[in-house]
Structure 1
Amino acid sequence: MNDLLSLRRVSAGYGDAVVISNIDVGLRQGESFAVLGRNGTGKTTLINTIVGVTRQKGGMIVLDGRDLTGARPETRAKAGIGWVPQERNIFKSLTVEENLTAVARPGPWTLARAYELFPRLRERRSNLGNQLSGGEQQMLAVARALVLNPRIMLLDEPTEGLAPIIIEELLAALTKVIREEGMSVIIVEQHAQKILGMTDRALILDRGTIVHSSSSKALMEDPTALEQHLGVTGGKKKRLGHPPL
């Protein structure tokens, strides 16, 4: 099966600095990736490079056979790349419903389906973006990406700074999107144990390069790579705890 998204020896960074080097990644239709690594290892830069907001130094980015290397971010979005950045980037002066309808494109993900996935947003559909909690803003950011009806969705630290109950709701929704809806997803997350169970494959980055690639299941069953590259201790899946990734 051909890859939906392919990165071929991609190097990128900011200004003259190279942050990620010679990245080779292929993501198939309906597949999900966990991207793990310590802070500063290039996880966000990898996402930003796919989106098109870094300076690419080499390699190719191909989406469903279309070469997006050098394409502007808006061109990549129209081609089918949905993005949920750490900053969320919702329209804080618009209501929840206006945030969703302003960007919606034709496809299976409609306003009604977004509300079904996130009932909190339906309850707050008349609230302005700046009247939402951090967790509700994150749900809105995910819903905004979905109603764009992308081919692939990129999420950068989606649970960062959220209350445990909100994290539980958000991860349950993302699991449904991945497992039941078959969305192709790449998730960067600080805590491995939160997303390994909902993803198919896992990558670990260190100093801007891929140092480990395996199925998520294999990494949960044998977390040696987590211990080696992320400082996770315990040696068993059940003892991973909350590692400082």
Structure 2
Amino acid sequence: MAEELLRIEGLRAGYGEAVVLEDIALELAAGQSLALLGRNGTGKTTLINTIAGVTRRHAGRLFLAGRDVTNLPPFKRAEAGIGWVPQERNIFKSLTVEENLTAVARPGPWDVKRVYAMFPRLEERRQNMGNQLSGGEQQMLAFARALVLNPRLLLLDEPLEGLAPIIVEELLRSIARVVREEGLSAILVEQNPRLILSMTHHAMVLDRGRVVHRAGSEELAADAQTLERLLAVGH
């Protein structure tokens, strides 16, 4: 049995006094991936942000590979092995592509050369500043930056949002390669469940800050009725 990578117990969190998440429990084994689903405003981003360490926790605990990371600040969680690609991307806009990557790179299988091989477009623009990139290129760079951290757990918050279809395809291929073929543990948030159910092992649906459904990704993908009921996904 694969070792446990992430465990969340009785999590209650939000922003300031506002509580968004209630009694969240989650376990993810090493090498496994999770599709985190739900309609807009149900707490998906808040959960990702809480794992990354940027929300206010009111109760509960978080463990990474058995280590209690509940009280660690975001940079310490990154050091512990959490790679985070937020919706805002958080690239350094005043640094070049290459500087963005080398500034955060840590030893491991993913290095700058390897992410360039996956995203030739980034290599072509390696001397361009972050703010000179298109939205799709910025998203590739944000993903590449998370990879060169060589994380144990990758958090991807709507990485395909607002991108041109050709870029979506390229990113989907890259994410599928990293998650399915290379077995990097990941939690993916995406509005279109069908895009990520095919590449993840497990699925969890949030509604009003609570877990309302858990299933294997394959099982949920095949259950049109439940998808329609929970996520208003058309057949």
Shared fold (TM-score, shorter chain, > 0.5): yes
- Looking at structure 2, the residues matched to 119 and 130 of structure 1 have their Cα atoms a distance apart, in angstroms, of 18
User: Aligned AA for 2:89?
Assistant: R
Could you tell me how far 1:72 is from its partner in structure 2? 0.6
Supply the distance in 2 between the matched residues of 1:171 and 1:233 (Cα, whole angstroms): 21
Partner of 2:142: 141
Gaps of 5+ in 2: none
Paired residue type of 2:217: S
Partner of 2:26: 25
Q: What residue number does 1:228 align with?
A: 229
Which whole-Å CA distance do the structure 2 matches of 1:174 and 1:232 have between them? 22
Query: What is the CA–CA distance in structure 2 between the aligned matches of 1:27 and 1:118, rounded to whole Å?
Result: 28
Q: Does 1:35 align with 2:36?
A: yes
Residues 61-118 of structure 1: per-residue CA shift (max 9 Å, x gap): 0000100112111111110000000000101111111110011111111111111111
Aligned-pair Cα RMSD in Å: 0.8
Gaps of 5+ in 1: 235-245
- What residue in structure 1 maps to residue 97 of structure 2? 96
Q: Output the CA distance in 2 between the equivalents of 1:226 and 1:205.
A: 12
TM-score with structure 2 length normalisation?
0.98
Q: How does 1:1-245 map to 2 (within 5 A)?
A: 1=1, 2-234=3-235
* Matched position secondary structure for 1:6: strand
User: Percent identity over the alignment?
Assistant: 64
Instruction: Give the secondary structure class of the aligned counterpart of 1:4.
Output: strand
In structure 2, what is the Cα distance between the partners aligned to 1:22 and 1:223? 27
Secondary structure of the residue that 1:103 maps to in structure 2? coil
CA distance in 2, matches of 1:123, 1:223: 42
**Residue matched to 1:241:** none
Superposition TM-score, scaled by structure 1 size: 0.94
Cα contact 1:212–1:225 (8 A) shared by 2: no
Output the CA distance in 2 between the equivalents of 1:181 and 1:3. 18
Residue identity in the other structure for 2:97: V
Counterpart secondary structure, 1:198? coil
The one-letter amino acid of 2:207's match is D
CA shift, 1:140, in A, is 0.2
Aligned residue pair count: 234
Runs of 4+ more than 4 Å apart? none
- Partner of 1:94, secondary structure, is coil
- CA deviation after TM superposition for structure 1 residue 223, in Å: 2.5
